[in-house]
Amino acid sequence: MKIVVIGGSGLIGSKLVNKLREHGHEAIPASPNSGVNTLTGEGLGEVLKGASVVVDVSNSPSFEEAAATNFFTTATRNLLQHEQAAGVRHHVALSVVGTDRLAARRPSDAEETIRGYFRAKLVQEKLIAESSIPYSIVHATQFFEFFKSIADASSDGTTVRLAPVLIQPMAAEDVAAAVGRGAVGAPVNGIVEVGGPQEFRLDEFVRQGLHAHNDPRTVVADVGAGYFGVEVDERTLVPGKDARLGETHFKTWLSQSTVSAIGASR
């Protein structure tokens, strides 16, 4: 089966392409580097010829609402238009657990941007759902790989302030596997939630990650800190009870990532 992966050279896309190829599929990574541009439509007609499935794991280069909305609206409309012309039978998109809840939350003035990004993701999902092409939207929880980004966004000098709410992060490898299962399965015409095998408090998740990487910053639980500045409640960041869970535990991932970091420094 020919499966075109939009954003196929990125963190999730590259892993997804490898997994699909390992299972015998013709997986084609598509990105501006390979001559495929979803914003201009360049290369879409050619790359989609004979494709059964299109998987979109691309992301807006900006979190600012107007820019992100323009990216997702333009790219998704171009994709769907060319998919329809090519006879694509399944559109799969990667999104975020809690997108609707995060879009609706009250942010601090400094963090209106992140809520705007989630509103832009909702626009993307609406376009997909209203299309005539059968679809599956995979909502994934935060990736293990971004614990440091969370810390950086929440740092005040050497102190990291995070709301002690629940989070159920997962490895990018497991995200790619979940998206791959969605791509080769039948369209659900709805949302599938995926998450990691364990729940953590957000502050504890980041604390464990920083400690494993010898980062000296102190993590403090602060109920008013939010998530990237957006007010969240106990379960905003975790999937529902029917979510499909990845297999990789955070401690396992941390041990592998620290070994890789040591090897790369030699």
The CATH superfamily label for domain 2-265 reads NAD(P)-binding Rossmann-like Domain (3.40.50.720)
Average pLDDT for 216-237: 89
The token duo for 192 is 């599938």
Per-residue pLDDT, 25: 98
| Amino acid at position 245, single letter | L
Determine the Cα–Cα distance for residues 56 and 42; give it in Å rounded to an integer.
16
Q: Looking at residues 230-242, what average pLDDT do you find?
A: 89
Mean pLDDT of 219-230: 87
Interval 151-170: pLDDT, tens: 999 999 999 999 999 999 99
Per residue in 44-71, pLDDT (tens digit) is 999 999 999 999 999 999 988 899 999 9
Cα–Cα distance list, 83 to 47, 87, 162 (Å): 10, 6, 42
Which SS3 state, helix, strand or coil, does residue 154 take? coil
Percent residues over pLDDT 90 in the chain:
82
Over range 231-260, report the average pLDDT.
90
Buried b (16+ CB within 10 A) or exposed e, 48-68: beebbbbbbbbbbeebbbebb
Predicted confidence at residue 112, as pLDDT, reads 52
Q: Could you tell me the sign of the dihedral formed by the alpha carbons of 90, 91, 97, 103, in that order?
A: negative
Instruction: Inform me whether the pLDDT recorded for 131 exceeds 90.
Output: yes
Residues forming a β-bridge with 245: 195
How confident is the model over 95-129, as pLDDT tens digits?
999 877 665 555 444 445 567 888 999 999 999 99
SS3 category, 147: helix
> Mean per-residue pLDDT for 24-35?
97
